[in-house]
């Protein structure tokens, strides 16, 4: 049931604080240490791993891109991410010391399943992050970490994306804990911060009125660009995907540093550009993206800026400023994605589209 909402998607966006909390539940011990026994991988096996490969499609792939930053930083392991549909058509170098992580909400995406089978044939250890109990992928993998988002009915992934992020953070921090990487104190602090994320997500949801208004005002535009850096780059890709699938509009996400290598030619008078700004603590990245915002605005772009609260440096260059709670950079996708979900949902609704059942799409894609 839609619980009083017009669409399942709206209900599922609203459920995100609970979904994030449930996915953390029981995984952080009283002593602040993580336990993920359900993954069926021993500490000894985790110490043997020398590379991580992530495979997924669509929104789950974006969670994988964010996982790469978390795994490389906290766990100190090389990590590759690839769309599942391409993975087995090259010659991926895998062996028993490779940990493959398949991310799939449904556990049924055929592209991801075929990639899992391919990885297992190469003797890699394969783990999956999945939201559906008893689906195919958890049965075919060596271990599974379930996200506890609850059933997602809307075709567009929303709450399951946030819980996938929680799952990948847990895995990255757990590997760091087991392998004792140099970031011991930071890992402990991050686990504590992760536990506070449901409140931050709630806080973002309570400030979405202006985002809805903005979305309605843009219902007639032809195209929207999304820019980000670091983990804000996959967030930009996710924002663009949501807008394509729900509003049937041209939307593209770019790494902001790539602008000058081509995409800046797209900027014209009135083009809406949504920019995800890294926290001020990442001063170099932060300042670079602020100059990108100045550059595109000077060329006529209408700048819609998502930045942490209190970041006054962006105020002079933002046509619309959307503030999100201050959190560490790696965790920022948990708060920065929400305005993009709300934006697409509202814009698509303003165009009269059924956001639960976008044209040409199915909730789980069981063909290759
Ligand atoms: C986007 C969306 C799709 C899925 C993709 C993978 O909103 O829902 O892009 O993310 O089809 O599906 P799963 O995660 O079930 O493997």
pLDDT digits (tens, 9 = 90+) for 258-295: 999 999 999 999 999 999 999 999 899 999 999 999 99
Spacing, Cα 61 to ligand 1 middle (Å):
8
Whether the CB-CB separation of 293 and 225 falls below 8 Å is answered with no
Query: What's the complex ipTM?
Result: 0.97
Between 37 and 166, name the one with better pLDDT: 166
- Name the residue of 9, 54, 60 whose CB sits within 8 Å of the most ligand 1 atoms, as the mutation to test its pocket: 60
Q: Please report which helix (H) or strand (E) contains residue 22, including its range.
A: helix 16-24
Spacing, Cα 247 to ligand 1 middle (Å):
17
Distances, alpha carbon 186 to alpha carbons 30, 49, 70, 167, in Å: 17, 22, 12, 18
Known catalytic residue at 68 = no
Phi, psi angle pair for 143, to nearest 5°: -155, 165
pLDDT digits (tens, 9 = 90+) for 53-97: 999 999 999 999 999 999 999 999 999 999 999 998 998 999 999
Judge whether residue 23 has pLDDT over 90.
yes
Q: Where would I find the beta strands (DSSP E) of the chain?
A: 51-56, 79-83, 98-104, 125-130, 143-146, 223-228, 250-255, 272-276, 302-308, 320-324
What is the rounded CA–CA span in Å between residue 186 and residue 349? 42
Please name every residue paired with 104 in a beta bridge, in sequence order, or none if there are none.
130
Using only C-alpha atoms, the chain has a radius of gyration, in whole angstroms, of 20
pLDDT at 186: 87
Q: Are strands 302-308 and 51-56 parallel, antiparallel or unpaired?
A: unpaired
Mean predicted confidence (pLDDT) in 202-231? 98
Judge whether residue 368 has pLDDT over 90.
no
How much of the chain, in percent, has pLDDT values that exceed 90? Answer: 91
Which protein residue's CA is at the shortest distance from atom 7 of ligand 1? 156
Spacing, Cα 269 to ligand 1 middle (Å):
34
3 state SS of 334: helix
Structure-block tokens of residue 108:
């049924």
What is the rounded CA–CA span in Å between residue 363 and residue 102? 18
pTM higher than the cut 0.95: yes
Which protein residue's CA is at the shortest distance from atom 11 of ligand 1? 58
Please name every residue paired with 83 in a beta bridge, in sequence order, or none if there are none.
56
What contacts 233, CB < 8 A, 6 or more positions away? 65, 253, 254, 255, 256
């Amino acid at each position: 049931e839609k619980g009083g909402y017009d669409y399942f998607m709206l209900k599922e966006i609203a459920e995100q604080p609970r979904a994030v909390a449930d996915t953390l539940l029981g995984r952080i011990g009283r002593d602040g240490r993580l336990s993920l026994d359900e993954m069926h991988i021993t500490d000894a096996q985790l110490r043997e791993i020398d590379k991580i490969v992530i495979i997924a499609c669509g929104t789950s792939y974006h969670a994988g891109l964010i996982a790469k930053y978390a795994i490389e930083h906290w766990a100190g392991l090389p990590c590759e991410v690839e769309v599942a549909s391409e993975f087995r058509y090259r010659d991926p170098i895998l062996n028993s010391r490779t940990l493959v992580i398949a991310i799939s909400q449904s556990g049924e995406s055929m592209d991801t399943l075929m990639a899992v089978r391919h990885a297992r044939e190469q003797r890699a250890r394969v783990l999956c992050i999945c939201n559906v109990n008893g689906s195919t992928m958890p049965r075919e993998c060596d271990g599974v970490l379930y996200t506890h988002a609850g059933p997602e009915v809307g075709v567009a992934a929303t709450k399951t994306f946030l819980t996938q992020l929680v799952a990948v953070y847990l895995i990255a921090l757990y590997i760091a804990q087991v392998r004792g990487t140099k970031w011991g104190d930071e890992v402990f602090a991050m686990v504590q911060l992760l536990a506070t994320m449901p409140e931050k997500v709630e806080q973002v949801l309570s400030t979405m009125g202006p985002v809805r208004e903005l979305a309605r005002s843009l219902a007639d535009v032809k195209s929207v660009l999304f820019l980000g850096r670091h983990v804000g780059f996959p967030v930009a890709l996710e924002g663009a995907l949501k807008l394509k699938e729900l509003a049937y509009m041209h939307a593209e996400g770019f790494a902001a540093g790539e602008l000058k290598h081509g995409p800046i030619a797209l900027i014209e008078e009135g083009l809406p550009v949504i920019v995800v700004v890294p926290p001020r603590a990442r001063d170099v990245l932060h300042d670079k993206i602020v100059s990108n915002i100045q550059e595109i605005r000077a060329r006529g772009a209408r700048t819609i800026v998502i930045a942490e609260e209190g970041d006054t440096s962006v105020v002079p260059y933002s046509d619309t400023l959307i503030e999100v709670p201050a959190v560490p950079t790696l965790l920022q996708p948990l708060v920065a994605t929400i305005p993009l979900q709300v934006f697409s949902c509202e814009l698509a609704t303003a165009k009269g589209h059924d956001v639960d059942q976008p044209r040409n799409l199915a909730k789980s894609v069981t063909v290759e």
